[in-house]
Amino acid sequence: MGVRIAARTRLDFWYDAVLFLGFTLAYSYGFTGIGIHEWLGLGLGLALLIHLTLHWDWVIRTTRKLVRPRGHDKLIWLVNLALLVAMTLCILSGILISRVALPYLGISLTGIGPFWSALHTTTAEVTLGLVPVHVALRWRWIVRIGRRLLAWRPR
Amino acid sequence: MRFLRHLAVVVLLVAVVVAGGLAWGHFVPGPLPDRGPGGLGQLVVRGRAVRRLPSGARIPAGLHVNSGPENLGLTSMFQAVNLPVLRDTVEIEAGVVVGVVIIEIGHRRWRRARRASRLAATPAPPPGTIT
């Protein structure tokens, strides 16, 4: 029996895998250096907008079902909401305290206090906690699709 | 078209969070602890990623450190010596993923067992009954 996976599922899997890898690299500031950290962070910001857009139907569907007693989707919804807020604030504060990317684009911000640096660190740590939770709550889907995508198929 | 419509809604939602963040920074810029300009910067000391140097430790001459206001780290991207920082991130992520998966499996098993015991406790309807 051939393994047929919808193009959309394939896109979701690989896109999310790249996002996860990108986030891991972007968080590892001490490894990448500030230049890659900042450009990767900006790229992640745009990629996350697309990610959320691709899953907007799920957001609407789950938000409508929030009043129902079943808990699993509710937990995922709450984690995703927290992640949206934490990541947005992390990227916003990262842009404001940027030392490479923004000056390169000819933008210089003044009057940026230590609050934004502290917010960036705090939201990055919250995000580091939430991203693996976000991934792990979908582990059955990841394993199922991953197995089918990566399965060795003799010709 | 549908994608663009959804994208517009998402951008609007993100704009609301951004506005909230900017308002927070403008009106109540506290009480987050400021950890200095290093921010997320981690150092590698004896093969381990750390947030700050232990007392008495010194950075060997010639080693670039990717944090601090003076060093933009542009010449020290992806250096093998800084790999422990990446390993540290991967270890945290893997730990959280494993923890959540174990909890999820445990919770599912507990729910199944509870459902099974509830079904076992319910008396079966007499034969021929339409439910």
Which string of DSSP letters, residue by residue, matches B55-117?
Answer: TT--PPTT---S-SSS---TT-TT-GGGHHHHHHHHHHHHHHHHHHHHHHHHHHHHHHHHHHH
Which residues are CB-contacts of A35 (< 8 A; sequence separation ≥ 6)? A100, A101, B72, B73, B74, B77
Place of tokens 């996350």: A48
Q: Do B97 and A33 touch (CB under 8 A)?
A: no
Contacts with A34 from chain B: Cβ below 8 Å:
66, 72-74
* pLDDT 10s digits, A28-73: 988 888 888 999 999 999 999 999 999 999 999 989 888 776 667 8
ipTM of the complex: 0.87
pLDDT at residue A86 tops 90: yes
Asked if residue A116 lies in contact with residue A54, where contact means CB atoms within 8 angstroms, the answer is no
Contacts with B79 from chain A: Cβ below 8 Å:
31
Place of tokens 């990446």: B86
User: Is B8 among the domain residues?
Assistant: no
Amino acid occupying residue B131: T
User: Is B56 among the domain residues?
Assistant: yes
User: Is B10 among the domain residues?
Assistant: no
Reported as a pLDDT band with limits 50, 70 and 90, residue A10 is very high
Average pLDDT score over residue span B59-83: 60
Contacts with B82 from chain A: Cβ below 8 Å:
30-31
* pLDDT 10s digits, B21-68: 999 988 887 666 655 444 455 666 656 666 666 666 666 665 555 554
User: Is B21 among the domain residues?
Assistant: no
Q: Do B29 and A88 touch (CB under 8 A)?
A: no
Which residue range is the domain that position B57 belongs to? 35-121
User: Is B81 among the domain residues?
Assistant: yes
User: Is B39 among the domain residues?
Assistant: yes
Indicate the number of domains in chain B.
1
| DSSP conformation class of A137 | T
The 3-state secondary structure of A88-116 reads: HHHHHHHHHCCCCHHHHCCCCCCCCCHHH
